[in-house]
Amino acid sequence: MEVPSREDIWEMVKESPGAAWDKAREFTPSLAELKTYDFPDFDLETYKNKARELFGKAKESASAAVENAQELLTEDDTEE
């Protein structure tokens, strides 16, 4: 059995969207199944703090790059 290419799959979906929808529904859990699913616990606060930390570092790096560029531009202006 050969796996269809991405283009072939899209062509099949375009030709018969109802069949594609029905096939997709076979693999989609029902609401009742989702209600019984045991989702893992995670601490959202940890993710928020890590994101703040990473964005803070990115901001510092960007600020340093801007300052360095401004210094280089200022040096070029004073040399003329």
Complete DSSP assignment for 25-61: HHTSPPHHHHHH--PPP--HHHHHHHHHHHHHHHHHH
Percent of the chain past pLDDT 90, that is, above it, reads 50
Neighbours of 13 (CB within 10 A): 14
Domain ranges, residue 79? 40-80
How far is 21 from 27, CA to CA, in rounded Å?
Answer: 10
**pLDDT tens sequence across 23-37:** 888 999 999 998 998
The domain total for the chain is: 2
Residues recorded for the chain: 80
Q: What is the pLDDT of residue 50?
A: 95
Q: Are residues 29 and 2 in the same domain?
A: yes
Residues 20 and 12: beta-carbon distance below 8 Å: yes
Q: Are residues 63 and 33 in the same domain?
A: no
pTM, 2 dp:
0.40
Q: Using the structure block, give the residue that is written with the tokens 């693999």.
A: 27
Q: Are residues 35 and 51 in the same domain?
A: no
**pLDDT tens sequence across 35-57:** 998 888 888 899 999 999 999 99
Q: Are residues 29 and 44 in the same domain?
A: no
Confidence label for 61 from pLDDT (cuts 50, 70 and 90): very high
